[in-house]
Amino acid sequence: MEEFRNIGIIGRLNSNKVIETVKRLSRFLTEEGYYVILDDRIAEVIPGHNMQVSKVNLLGEICDLVIVVGGDGSLLGAARALAKYHIPVLGINRGRLGFLTDISPDDNMCDEVKAVLDGQYTSELRFLLDAEVKRDGNPIGAAAALNDVVLHPGKSARMIAFDLYIEGQYVYNLRSDGLIVSTPTGSTAYSLSGGGPIMHPKLDALVLVPMFPHTLSSRPIVVDGKSEIKIHIDGDLDIYPTVSCDGQTHIPCAPGDTITIRKKAHKLKLIHPKGHNFYEICRTKLGWSSNLGD
């Protein structure tokens, strides 16, 4: 097990509950003898904290562990920034569902964090995606995603037409509201809402989910996680679609553009308290019934 001494804290902004949790957590960690570094954005709204402050990227260089206080969206942003540093990330849930942030900010929060710091945790690697948009063969934008890369109409309500290629092999030309390319991590997010399957996080696979396709035979496709996905937007479209990564980073596209999606070289190291159970999380978060004890 790794030894954690320098601990970074990232907090979701515009939430008094997050600020309260960050204050409580940082005070606890300091009292326990850990060196705490605050993300500069959350530090601005906590006057008089007397702790070192750092930008998110630098946290990856100077910390042994980063704790994210917020929802899954906060952890997605941290994952994209920190994956290349191979630094473990732990989530405290101040959001809604909390598939990625699995410590509750209740009275037992500090005890659960202490147990993790004492080595009582499990870790797993989650892969990310890189998306690049080219126009006339020239790159015009790129971004990373932990959950999904989505081609969608942007502000338009009209359908998109595009050609899909997987590992250089032509799949189809589709007219739809777009396409979701999701990792196993993202399979319980937007992809699930679009009718995609739930994939266990350990799978090395991608799922491609058409959004409201103009044919009943278009269904989600699960492919090898190492596959290169290419989407060529029809050149005669009269709308300008958008590529969104994790719903947080957006790249404007034009008719004729090509989007290439492939696995990112760096993975996120996500850690959980002992006893973490993916199926229990699905049961709780998605409202699955349980007959145990009936």
Q: How confident is the model over 110-136, as a mean pLDDT?
A: 96
The answer to whether 191 is annotated as binding is: yes
pLDDT at 84 exceeding the cut of 90 = yes
**Contact (CB, 8 A) for 32 and 25:** no
The answer to whether 96 is annotated as binding is: no
The answer to whether 148 is annotated as binding is: yes
Band (pLDDT 50/70/90 cuts) for residue 292 is low
In this structure, which amino acid lies at residue 198?
I
User: Last residue of a domain, which of 97, 119, 141?
Assistant: 119
The answer to whether 190 is annotated as binding is: yes
CATH number of the domain encompassing residue 32: 3.40.50.10330
User: Do both 90 and 152 map to the same domain?
Assistant: no
pLDDT tens digits, one per residue of 226-257 = 999 999 999 999 999 999 999 999 999 999 99
Asked if residue 60 belongs to a domain, the reply is: yes
User: Do both 96 and 147 map to the same domain?
Assistant: no
The answer to whether 74 is annotated as binding is: no
The answer to whether 72 is annotated as binding is: yes
CB burial readout 212-233, b (16+ within 10 A) else e? ebeeeebebebbebebebbbbb
Domain that holds residue 75: 6-119
pLDDT for the residue 293: 57
User: Do both 114 and 143 map to the same domain?
Assistant: no
Asked if residue 222 belongs to a domain, the reply is: yes
Q: Which residues pair with 182 in a beta bridge?
A: 148, 207
* pTM of the model as a whole: 0.94
pLDDT at 294 exceeding the cut of 60 = no
Average pLDDT, the chain: 94
Band (pLDDT 50/70/90 cuts) for residue 14 is confident
pLDDT at 73 exceeding the cut of 90 = yes
Pairing of strands 249-252, 88-93: unpaired
The answer to whether 123 is annotated as binding is: no
Q: Give catalytic status of residue 72 as yes or no.
A: yes
pLDDT tens digits, one per residue of 169-223 = 999 999 999 999 999 999 999 999 999 999 999 999 999 999 999 888 899 999 9
pLDDT at 103 exceeding the cut of 90 = yes
Q: How confident is the model over 35-45, as a mean pLDDT?
A: 94
User: Do both 151 and 252 map to the same domain?
Assistant: yes
Q: How many domains does the chain have?
A: 2
Helix (H) or strand (E) holding 28: helix 16-31
pLDDT for the residue 239: 93
User: Do both 108 and 186 map to the same domain?
Assistant: no
**Three-state DSSP class for 142?**
strand
Catalytic residue among 39, 40, 64, 72: 72
Pairing of strands 88-93, 35-39: unpaired
pLDDT for the residue 48: 80
pLDDT at 37 exceeding the cut of 70 = yes
